[in-house]
Every structure is written in C-alpha cells, then in structure tokens.
Amino acid sequence: MSLSPEQVEQFKQDGYLVIEDHLSTQDCDVLRERAFQIIKEADMSQHPMTTFSTVDKDKGAQTRTDYFVTSGDKIRFFFEEGALGENGKLTMPPIEAVNKIGHALHIFEPEFKKVTFSDKIKGIARSLGVVKPSVPQSMVIFKQPKIGGRVNPHQDSSFLHTTPMNLVGFWIALEDAEPDNACMWFAPGTHKSGISGRLLRTEEDGKLGTKFEGTSPSTDENKFVCAPVRKGSLVLIHGEVVHKSPPNLSERSRNIYTFHLYDGTSEWSKDNWQQPTEEVPFPFLYEKTE
C-alpha cells in the first residue's frame, strides 16, 4: 500500500516513477467503458467545439475559452484539432474525436472517484510525505488512433502552480502505452531546476482568459527517455519534470486516466486557470490525523 524507500528515491532522482500492475485489466476496462458511455450520453448540440491546443482567433473564441476556464468543477469535452473540419464542425462521431474529458471526474463519477481515493493512492501519498493531499482535477485522455495530437515538452506545475511547488501527477495507463501508440517521454532530473513559464488566468472586462508567461522548457531532445508501460501501470509525475508525448499515428488508441495532487498545506495560486469553487472545493485524500 506504499512505496518502498528505493521507489521514493528513484522518484526523487528522476522526477517520475513507473509502478506496474496498479490497476487490474478489468479495472481499466471499467474506466474506459464509463468514459465512452459519458461521451455517448452527453448532449453535444450546444458544445462550443473546443479543441485542446489551438490559439483561438475567431468570434467563437471567448465561448471556447470560457468553456475551458470554467471546466474545473464540471465534466466537459475537448476535441482533437484533427477532428474538426474547416467549418469548425466535427468530421467524425464525438467518441472518435474527443481528446480528453475533464476536470471533475473524481468528484462526479463513482468509478473514477474510487480509483482516485483508493487506499493504494493514499499509501503512495503518505510515502511521498504529503501532509494534506488535495486533488484539484482529473482527466481521461484518449490519444485517439491517427489523430491523437502531440503534447509538447512541458512541466505540469506551469499550469497548476503552488507555493511551495509540490504537485504530483498520477497517470494510469488504461491501455498498453508503447512507442508506436505515443507513450510518454520524460527528461529525467529536469524537475530540479524550477519551471520555465506559467499559464496565468486573466480577467479583462469581465472576460476570462489565459496567457502564458515565460517560455516552454528548452530541454535537449536527446535528454528524453521513452517510458513504455503496460495497461494498469501507474506513473507518478513530479510537477516540475519535463515530459512530452508524440502524436499517435498508429491504428490503436492510448487511453489513460490522470489526476493531480498537491499538498493542501501549500498555497494554490490565485493565478491558476483552475480555481476551487464554493460548490466543489478541492477534496482531500486524507487529513493529517488519519
């Protein structure tokens, strides 16, 4: 139920750690099936067709920005850029077009809640010395066959910043993730020199937005190590380690479930795009006394 001292040491040294067989194949399938069912049940008729990585310039941009910035306490859908036609409409069924679902699966979806608040996860948080583990967000990332987009080198603490920084990503492979279907790549040790930039929430004339200040990490390409993992593996990702994944050009998907955790004894930045709401404050895995 906890990490060995060697595993903790490895995590501290590399900035990530692979833990095999965290979930059973069956557990993974339950999460995948539920994720697909959520998409099937969703009413997409009013969806602003928000993709995940575009810089919006047209008149629908503000609607799409709002859709993203206010998604922290909801279950919302973000599409692959490659799934939209020139008219901005989907060229394929939503189930094949979704890049990710976020960001409150761990609040509203029992199967995801169970996996997030499990004794195993609590044990890992304790092993890492987290006093008051708080879970701000969760996502299913689909990395669809053929159109699953590239994720450029980044540090998660650029997007979910705390003082002091102590964010940890929990990333669970719901399918095998290998080089051909775009497994993750890490630059070991890069978590030791701070972050290179930050995504900040903005509000001008009552309009919400985001802006990136600083730069993306300029990590040497040959510092990255491929991290293939089997279905059910959990990967711990230090908030400051530089990581990336290539586009998925293969015929098979690479579905994963991920959530982030930080120590609630630290300060959640008011500048983060995501803010806890009165209705949905960030839940804790445990309080110190437990």
Binding site for Fe ion (CB under 5 A): 156
Question: How many other β-carbons are positioned within 10 Å of the β-carbon of residue 193?
Answer: 10
Residues written for the chain: 290
CB of 154: closest distance to Fe ion in angstroms?
Answer: 6
CB of 127: closest distance to Fe ion in angstroms?
Answer: 22
What is the 3-state secondary structure of 234-254? Answer: EEEEECCCEEEECCECCCCCC
CB of 236: closest distance to Fe ion in angstroms?
Answer: 12
CB of 287: closest distance to Fe ion in angstroms?
Answer: 28
For residue 103, whether the previous peptide bond is cis, meaning omega lies within 30 degrees of 0, is: yes
For residue 22, whether the previous peptide bond is cis, meaning omega lies within 30 degrees of 0, is: no
Q: Which is nearer to Fe ion, 232 or 239 (by Cβ)? A: 239
CB of 26: closest distance to Fe ion in angstroms?
Answer: 27
Q: Give Cα 210 distance to the centre of its chain.
A: 17
Let me know: does 99 contact 52? Beta carbons within 8 Å: yes
Q: Which is nearer to Fe ion, 38 or 141 (by Cβ)? A: 141
CB of 237: closest distance to Fe ion in angstroms?
Answer: 7
Q: Which is nearer to Fe ion, 133 or 217 (by Cβ)? A: 217
Residue of closest CB approach to Fe ion:
156
CA 158 – CA 240 distance, rounded (Å): 8
Q: Which is nearer to Fe ion, 109 or 240 (by Cβ)? A: 240
Minimal CA–CA distance to 149: which of 267, 25, 248, 289?
Answer: 248
Question: How many other β-carbons are positioned within 10 Å of the β-carbon of residue 236?
Answer: 24
Q: Which is nearer to Fe ion, 14 or 156 (by Cβ)? A: 156
CA 198 – CA 235 distance, rounded (Å): 23
Q: Which is nearer to Fe ion, 96 or 156 (by Cβ)? A: 156
Q: Pairing state of beta strands 75-79 and 98-103?
A: antiparallel
